[in-house]
Amino acid sequence: MNKNNDLHRLVGDNVQDRELEIPVFPLGTNTESAQNPVEAMTLSLQDLLPDSKGEVVLEDSLGSLILMEGGEVTEQGILEESHVTHGGQDVSGMAYARFADGITLYYDSETTIEFI
């Protein structure tokens, strides 16, 4: 099993080839949640390769649960103004998180990212 398949789907070619642990665990305590666990992916900020302006876009992450580790978030929210990344991706209206090291992560607002 290649644990990097989901990571490649999310960030395209902007990823280093590393083995990642992708845990599966139930959220909530009711019986339905226990029988249908939500899959979570753990990513490290160091796994992502930003473009020349320090931007990373998670693609096809709608509804995902992502645990992001390794960086101090200095700002986060929904991008209200129009913006296209250096790589040509329109991230207008997407959620974002800026990290202390200058990287900005853009992702679908329906995606849950927990910064650990």
Q: What is the DSSP track for 38-69?
A: EEEEEEEGGGB---TTSEEE--S-TT-EEEEE
Mean pLDDT, residues 6-24: 53
Mean pLDDT, residues 79-93: 93
Query: So what's the pLDDT on residue 51?
Result: 93
pLDDT band at 40 (very low <50, low <70, confident <90, very high): confident
Q: Is the pLDDT of residue 3 over 80?
A: no
Mean pLDDT, residues 75-82: 95
Instruction: Quote the pTM value.
Output: 0.66
Query: So what's the pLDDT on residue 29?
Result: 46
